[in-house]
Amino acid sequence: MKLRIGFVAAVLVAPLVVSGTTSAAQPDRTPYYWQVPDADERVLADLGFDVEHGVGGAVQVVGDERIAARLRGMGYRPSKFDTVYKEVLPRTQGVGVQSFYGGYHTSAEHAKHVTDVAAAYPALTQVYDIGDSWRKTKGQGGHDIRAICITKKQAGDCALSPNSAKPRFAMIAQLHARELATGEVAWRWIDHLTKGYGSDAEVTSILDTTELWVVPIANPDGVDIVASGGNSPLMQRKNANNPTGCSGATGGVDLNRNSTFKWGKAGTSRCGETYQGPSAGSEPETRALEAWFRQLFPDQRGPGDTDPAPVTTKGVMITVHSYGNLIMPPWGWTWNANPNAAGLRALGQKMAAFNGYTVVAEGDTTGTTDDFTYGNLGIASYTFELGTGSGSCGGFFPQYSCVDSLFWPRNKGAFLTAAKAAKAPYAS
């Protein structure tokens, strides 16, 4: 999630048993979303709370009863808004045995999916290893970060070169590991494109003229940590690096604060959920993604903050996060409008016609992925925030069935709109 700020990773635990008897009443360790009236999210974030934007712009804090007690001790009046964990339904047919929390796929399953798709559709796909996760760079297991190119391949297509004959649309997902629905939507996007070529006229037209690139899991180490909780997924947002020695899931670097464009200022709390890292681009995942973007897209914007990308600019990028029902263009680093604000808003509204999301730029953070791709390269860039704030399809851990009942059908048309716009995203 681009703008969410925070701290706590809460896990369901069993009561402590001592000498065969249950101890005195233990505090409720169940994590909730707490509505906190009259709170300033920046203040709470600086104090180490896991802060979210709630309904109607209200501030929410994620945590268990201990967190609520801490807020009460500071004079706030938190009230329970919703549970973090939803009822885990029986797995649907065809879900892999490695899946967790009702059907969500692990990093390994996503990697296998990309490999299997490439084997099944060689005339449409090309897979690249674009870099390593932090654990892999340290010899601690980890993963390759995989990107798949999907198009009706002609000579020269799907090359890692910015001088492509076809315009390009790029999608990355699960940069924040705990945002479970995002990787699943990317999975369905890959399948829709490959299975639809030759039978779906819209998909066929797009693949004949455009390259579609997808990184379904941008933070695979973090997803491993989340999945290790099984039916009570751990609330790991960041990567697996822990340069400041924080405890539990408060360790790591927020990869959506670590990009090299306008890095700094937002995410300085060392154990906060938005910790920006010790330096710009310090994390291997960040470096891999930024190098990949530069291989896909030429620099099409001037160096000044107010230099617009020309109307002839090609390329669209979407980074998929949750939750909030938002489409957010740059800037994130400032509340000032970006120099292509009108064009970005126009395309955002075309996408929002399918998913009903609100198109809004919120400039309260730095080092974000979409600021990098727009700021350095000029391509039309957006953060999508999937999902509502409450109910079975709300929050970070919606029921798995919500992917097919809500998130995918609502966003399919928006993604297709973005792909078709890649040839001229700023044209009226």
| All residues at 6 or more sequence positions from 385 whose CB lies less than 8 Å from its CB, including other chains | 1, 2, 321, 322, 323, 324, 325, 326, 327, 328, 357
For residue 24, how many C-alpha atoms fall within 13 Å in the half-sphere facing its CB? 0
pTM of the model: 0.91
User: In this structure, which amino acid lies at residue 258?
Assistant: N
Reading the chain (428 residues) residue by residue, the pLDDT tens digits are 544 333 333 333 233 333 333 445 566 788 999 999 999 887 888 788 888 876 566 789 999 999 999 999 999 999 999 999 999 987 665 566 679 999 999 999 999 999 999 999 999 999 999 999 999 999 999 999 999 999 999 999 999 999 999 999 999 999 999 999 999 999 999 999 999 999 999 999 999 999 999 999 999 999 999 999 999 999 999 999 998 888 776 789 999 999 999 999 878 888 888 899 999 999 999 999 999 999 999 999 999 999 999 999 999 999 999 988 999 999 999 999 999 999 999 999 999 999 999 999 988 889 999 999 999 999 999 999 998 878 999 999 999 999 999 999 999 999 999 999 999 999 86
Report whether 295 contacts 357 (CB < 8 A). Answer: no
Q: Which residue has the tokens 């059907």?
A: 103
The strand pair at 50-53 and 32-36 is best described as unpaired
Please spell the DSSP secondary structure of 243-263, one letter per residue: TT---GGG-S--TTS--STT-
Q: How far apart are CA 217 and CA 131, in angstroms?
A: 12
**At what angle are helices 107-120 and 220-227 packed, to 10 degrees?**
120
Based on its alpha-carbon atoms, the radius of gyration of the chain, rounded to whole angstroms, reads 21
Q: How far apart are CA 194 and CA 217, in angstroms?
A: 18
